[in-house]
Amino acid sequence: MASPVIAAAAARTAASQPLPGRPGGRRPELDVMRGLVVAGLVVFHSAMVFAVGTSWFVNDPRPSIGFSVFLLWGSLWGMPLLFLVSGMGVRYAMRSRTAWAFAAERLGRLGIPFATGLVLLVPPMFYLERLAQPGFHQSYGRFWLAFVNVPAIARGLLPHGNWTSGGVGFDPAHLWFLYVLLVFSLALLPLFWYLRGQHGTRLAGRVAGQAARHPLAMLAVAAVPVMVTEAVFGPDGSTGGWERLAYVFPFLYGFLIASDARFESALSRARWPAVAAAAAATAGLLGWAVAAGPGVASPARQRHDPPGDASHGGSAPPVTPTRPCSRSTCCTNRSSWRLPGSSSAGTRPSSSSTPFWWPCPSPPHLSSTNSPSVATASPASCPA
């Protein structure tokens, strides 16, 4: 998930804009939503240290499944809500800006902080993590040059969400929210510009009219593209537990909600049935997570290190996971495969040549299930 400072800065614009037809000034309900997410991010990232199955920069040797369940619950709504508020902010911002002015503002407010953080804030996090690995003795200067590899970042960031430099895998850590929001804002700008025009306003008005008449059906229809995206591409553990493309829908929905007051009226009418359905679904999902065992409940930050980590001079073996093994951890920690009784790593697709949603192939000590995209390991065959 995104860091609290990043999340607060990106969502503050939305909270400061009025709803069309309302007096100017801040919208307290958006402030409350933003505050809940930002406060939750602090607890969320702290809990990742103590959760079972997470692959974080620092992990407690005695993890707890309770923290894992909390992470699963928080990842369900935290970042989607933040993208929703951000989409509302885009609609308000475009009322008084041209398309070029809006694009320039987005580049300044999102692109510059992302580039600055990628150069100054994220490399020390990865470097401190590497220092804890046996055999790592690289100076920070050389490590920083490998991290800030502009051609590698350009090749890998957008298609995969990570990049490989010098045989080592990297990702933007907390800053992923900034570049994803920037890409969405620029890629959807033609659509947003159309929707704020005369024809687009009429189209949004017809959709709002249907939503006002059938609010529950509106919620069900809005959920379909999110479910399809997750089913096709699968969750991405490095972007808050959701596939990156799935966030485009709450972002777009936020824009539409801010376009016509009837959307908010429909949501208000459907709030209690929606809360009841969400509570029941969440309880079932959390119960499944507890019953499924360690590792399943945690939206872990993915490792992208290729086997034979070059940061160890090309000779040291990959770090072997010490946490319990499960379907999700075996897929998430693909860089840590090791054959039983051997120090050699199993092969996996290179993160620089395969999408981040590529199915988990089965190393020799794993047996494939009926699904080709999932690998299962028995407790006896998991690396110790």
Tell me if 222 is assigned to some domain.
Answer: yes
How far is Cα 6 from Cα 174, in angstroms, rounded to an integer? 8
What domain count does the chain have? 1
Q: Identify the burial level of 193 via C-beta atoms within 10 angstroms of its C-beta, where 0-12 means exposed, 13-18 middle and 19 or more buried.
A: middle
Find all residues with CB under 8 Å of 372, minimum gap 6, and list them: 359
State the pLDDT at residue 68: 84
Q: For residue 180, give its domain range.
A: 4-292
Contact by Cβ (8 Å): 192, 91: yes
DSSP helix/strand/coil, 164: strand
Here the tokens at position 18 are 């009025």
- Per-10-residue mean pLDDT of the chain, 384 residues long, equals 52 44 62 83 88 82 86 87 92 90 95 96 94 91 95 93 91 92 96 94 95 93 94 82 93 95 93 91 82 59 45 38 32 33 35 37 34 35 36
Strands 375-376 and 163-165: unpaired
Neighbours of 261 (CB within 10 A): 15
- At what angle are helices 176-187 and 4-15 packed, to 10 degrees? 30
Torsion of CA 44, 16, 114, 5, to 10 degrees: -30
Tell me if 34 is assigned to some domain.
Answer: yes
Amino acid identity, residue 293?
G
State the pLDDT at residue 76: 85
Here the tokens at position 316 are 């040291």
Tell me if 199 is assigned to some domain.
Answer: yes
Give φ, ψ of 217 to 5 degrees. -65, -35
Tell me if 159 is assigned to some domain.
Answer: yes
Find all residues with CB under 8 Å of 88, minimum gap 6, and list them: 14, 17, 30, 254, 255, 257, 258
Tell me if 16 is assigned to some domain.
Answer: yes
How far is Cα 352 from Cα 156, in angstroms, rounded to an integer? 6
Tell me if 154 is assigned to some domain.
Answer: yes
**Among 162, 134, 114, residue whose Cα is nearest residue 302:** 162
Find all residues with CB under 8 Å of 280, minimum gap 6, and list them: none
Here the tokens at position 57 are 């920069």
Q: Identify the burial level of 269 via C-beta atoms within 10 angstroms of its C-beta, where 0-12 means exposed, 13-18 middle and 19 or more buried.
A: middle
Tell me if 378 is assigned to some domain.
Answer: no
SS (H, E, C) 335-359: HHCCCCCCCCCCCCCCCCCCCCCCC
Tell me if 301 is assigned to some domain.
Answer: no
